[in-house]
Structure 1
Amino acid sequence: MPVLPDLAAKRGHEAEALLALVLAGGPARPLRDLLEHFGNARDALAAGLPAWRAAGLGPQQMQALAVAAPGRMEQVRRWLDHPRHHLLGWRDADYPPLLRSCPNPPVAVFVDGDPAQLWQPAIAIVGSRNPSAAGRDNAYEFASALSASGLCVGSGLAAGIDAAAHRAALDGGGSTFAVIGTGPDLAYPRRHAVLQEQIAAAGAVVSEYPPGTPARSGQFPARNRLLAALCLGTVVIEAAERSGALITARLAAEAGREVFAMPGSIRNPMARGCHRLIRDGATLVTQPVDILEGVANLAGELAGALQNRLLTPIPDAPGAPCPAPTLPDQDYQRLWNALGYDPTGMDSLIRCTGLTASRLSSMLLVMELEGKVSSAYGCYTRT
């Protein structure tokens, strides 16, 4: 087995080296430890067998790193050439903060769409693939309301409840992302190919699996941990006692997220999983406002992480000058500058900032949870 100690240099740059680590597959923990030790993927890849073995990589992982698979690498490279396609690695500043804190986070995620969606406060809506008409309507109604409030709607692009939640967010012009169990270039089920493209165009499709990875049964429970981690809370709407939705709810609780469940008829077998969750401590919800109240604290933590990443200062003292932001993303500073101590309506904010109503709603929610902004009767003021 030929070892290529200068493999990273030959592949040119950090993204190529990170891609080699991702394609090595296997347990993520040793790969993360390798990246943490060396600080970047190029040095980790160039370190060679002794360092890989010391980090705990298995024989198959080491062989994959030492002997490149040109065809596989080229397939993924072609996918990444598209301007809408991204690879976010463990050491990247844009790696989603909520995902970083979950049990067993991936070394990297592939994103088709806008990676910034993964920094927005989001709620996961999950449930049965074969819901009742009422269950599907409830998913659509809750997703519409949460989206209108400025929250992003996350789900898994499965049939039934997942698809209804995604469509509701899209129909209302809100934000949504899908965490899938295949490569980001494949739709599962196939009939959701159009829906997946719509989500990628308006939001984001996320996968820890490289392009070209087909559907395999074990990958779908694994993707549930990413969905649970990326969201402030998970809402279960109709689920049998043994279902993927309950796995997502359990993983959400383990990741320190809120779990909500909608009750149903005692005669509906699709409600038994929700009743079990409520019995075990999940929050019973009958209206979207129950969810907003439940995730306020965690949303504030996410807002702090986002503000630190953007480095867009928002002054605490009234009358303090607004320094210029140090990064190109000036949305928060523009919004702050448009706000005053007199109530300002949404129409005025849209005109002053040039931002969409959906984007402004999301930003205002974050700022309100931080205590920077107060709202009353549809108008907003600095606090």
Structure 2
Amino acid sequence: MAVTAWGARDGLVALHQIQGVGWHTIDALLRAGWDPARPLEASGHALERVQWRRKEVPGSIRKKWTAPFVRKVQEELARRTIQTLTVWDDDYPDRLRELPQPPWVLYLKGDPSLLTHPCLAVVGTRKPTSYGKQATAKLAAETASRGWTIVSGLAAGIDGEAHRAVLQRGGRTAAVLGCGVDVVYPKHHRSLYEQLVAEGVVLSEAPPGVAPRPGLFPQRNRIISGLSHGVLVVEAAERSGSLITADCGMEQGREVFAVPGPITSSQSMGSNRLIQQGAKCVLTSVDILEEFPHIPELPREDIREEEPEELSEEESQVFRFFEEGPLSLEELTTCAGIPLGDLHRLLLALQVKKRLRQLPGARFERV
């Protein structure tokens, strides 16, 4: 009887990192009798029984998939503190396992136990309005306070706002990447990525080191919705990538929710259309949670709530001008009728008290 050279999951993870090997290759090899726990020759003619689309792939497998390579992959993952979950592991997320094509391997940095909690996907435009940012922060934080994990894609815009709002309050959040789990994309989210690794979890189906490319993002989107009980779209244009995640959710039998927006806003056109097509219109987190009566109601968690500092009468007067959205310094000077020196002082005070933030071009908006 042949001696097992390595564990089946180790063999699977190593094969998954060979260039040209994707979901269908692994599926075809397993159907052809490949045994990931034993040397290639022990699986007979498994490679010959597969109909290869790319003729160079079987040669790459023969050359690379060896005992030293399997060991090297495991050592490198351990050195870089990258964890793996395979579809054969007991702690692999059950909701992902239900998919027609569940990821064979997930790579993770952070706390994988966050994926065992009920999850809500929150997605939207990369160019949100002030209204979209506020709605995202409110709904994500409220849902997280009930013990849910907020899942998103670390993209600029709504994704980043959702992760940030939950982390600021000590809640649970998970980021699914369209690149290797060790690759920061977009680059300006490095500090957010590092905070997610430290306090949340970052995961990817792509092997470590894989750069972002367009074809990986639809695959990423199916994981975002697949992990989740529902998908919330906050703001989305008519041709937004967020709608792909919503479509994935519908195909997977997930609940789809959308935040209504102004009919004059191009950023809300796609989310408003979703509501027309049957997505549930969401005004508060209760609108989301009431759709899951089968999930035991979780006690409200004591996540951090920052008490806003009181505003002076002058500060309150300026703050009210931002109810409708961002304003430039020039616009504010015109409508407020306050001397420029006093206005600078008040804007600085409102930023220190975390009521306003400055945007490029000397524009300001509510936090």
Task: Settle same-fold status: TM greater than 0.5.
Answer: yes
2:37 to 33, 39, 42: 42
1:222 to 219, 222, 226: 219
Instruction: State the partner residue of 1:165.
Output: 162
Instruction: State the partner residue of 1:106.
Output: 103
Q: Which has the larger radius of gyration?
A: 2
- Between 1:230-239 and 1:274-283, the stretch displaced more is 274-283
Q: Distance in 2 between matches of 1:74 and 1:192?
A: 33
Structural RMSD (CA): 3.0
Contact 1:135 1:161 (C-alpha < 8 Å) held by counterparts: yes
Deviation at 1:8, TM superposition (A): 7.5
Instruction: State the partner residue of 2:58.
Output: 62
Contact 1:23 1:64 (C-alpha < 8 Å) held by counterparts: no
Q: TM-score, normalised by structure 2?
A: 0.73
Contact 1:124 1:227 (C-alpha < 8 Å) held by counterparts: yes
Query: What is the count of residue pairs matched by the alignment?
Result: 299
3-state SS in 1 of match to 2:195? helix
3-state SS in 2 of match to 1:110? strand
Deviation at 1:13, TM superposition (A): 3.9
**What letter is aligned with 2:174?**
F
Q: TM-score, normalised by structure 1?
A: 0.70
Q: Distance in 1 between matches of 2:265 and 2:302?
A: 39
Instruction: State the partner residue of 1:207.
Output: 204
Deviation at 1:15, TM superposition (A): 4.5
In the superposition, relative to structure 1, how do residues 121 and 296 fare at CA in structure 2: closer, same or farther (>3 Å)? Answer: same
In the superposition, relative to structure 1, how do residues 153 and 68 fare at CA in structure 2: closer, same or farther (>3 Å)? Answer: same
Aligned pairs for 1:286-325 (under 5 A) are 286-297=283-294, 299=295
Q: Distance in 2 between matches of 1:188 and 1:251?
A: 22
Instruction: State the partner residue of 2:188.
Output: 191
- Between 1:22-31 and 1:142-151, the stretch displaced more is 22-31
Deviation at 1:43, TM superposition (A): 3.8
Deviation at 1:77, TM superposition (A): 4.0
Aligned pairs for 1:30-179 (under 5 A) are 30-32=25-27, 34-35=29-30, 41-43=36-38, 45=40, 47-48=42-43, 50-54=45-49, 58=53, 59-68=55-64, 76-82=73-79, 84-179=81-176
In the superposition, relative to structure 1, how do residues 205 and 147 fare at CA in structure 2: closer, same or farther (>3 Å)? Answer: same
In the superposition, relative to structure 1, how do residues 18 and 244 fare at CA in structure 2: closer, same or farther (>3 Å)? Answer: same
Contact 1:126 1:156 (C-alpha < 8 Å) held by counterparts: yes
2:17 to 20, 23, 26: 23
Structure 1 residue 248 corresponds to structure 2 residue 242:
no
- Between 1:94-103 and 1:204-213, the stretch displaced more is 94-103
The gaps in structure 1 that reach 5 residues or longer are 1-5, 304-334, 336-344, 347-355, 359-383
Q: Distance in 1 between matches of 2:111 and 2:40?
A: 28
Q: Distance in 2 between matches of 1:32 and 1:207?
A: 19
In the superposition, relative to structure 1, how do residues 193 and 77 fare at CA in structure 2: closer, same or farther (>3 Å)? Answer: farther
Deviation at 1:14, TM superposition (A): 3.7
Q: Distance in 2 between matches of 1:237 and 1:99?
A: 23
Contact 1:32 1:90 (C-alpha < 8 Å) held by counterparts: no
Deviation at 1:116, TM superposition (A): 1.5
Structure 1 residue 231 corresponds to structure 2 residue 233:
no
The structure whose residues are more often helix, as a share, is 1
Q: Distance in 1 between matches of 2:96 and 2:123?
A: 18
Deviation at 1:37, TM superposition (A): 7.5
**What letter is aligned with 1:64?**
S
3-state SS in 2 of match to 1:50? coil
In the superposition, relative to structure 1, how do residues 44 and 260 fare at CA in structure 2: closer, same or farther (>3 Å)? Answer: farther
Q: Distance in 2 between matches of 1:237 and 1:198?
A: 23
Instruction: State the partner residue of 1:3.
Output: none
**What letter is aligned with 1:279?**
Q
Q: Distance in 2 between matches of 1:288 and 1:44?
A: 52
Instruction: State the partner residue of 2:325.
Output: none
CA offsets per residue over residues 330-373 of structure 1, 9 Å max, x none? xxxxx9xxxxxxxxx98xxxxxxxxx856xxxxxxxxxxxxxxx
Deviation at 1:208, TM superposition (A): 0.6
In the superposition, relative to structure 1, how do residues 148 and 62 fare at CA in structure 2: closer, same or farther (>3 Å)? Answer: same
In the superposition, relative to structure 1, how do residues 273 and 112 fare at CA in structure 2: closer, same or farther (>3 Å)? Answer: same
Q: Distance in 1 between matches of 2:166 and 2:146?
A: 11
Deviation at 1:54, TM superposition (A): 3.2
Q: Distance in 2 between matches of 1:296 and 1:33?
A: 40
Deviation at 1:180, TM superposition (A): 0.3
- Between 1:72-81 and 1:216-225, the stretch displaced more is 72-81
**What letter is aligned with 2:112?**
P
CA offsets per residue over residues 269-297 of structure 1, 9 Å max, x none? 01110111111111111111111012333
Q: Distance in 2 between matches of 1:44 and 1:262?
A: 53
**What letter is aligned with 1:28?**
W
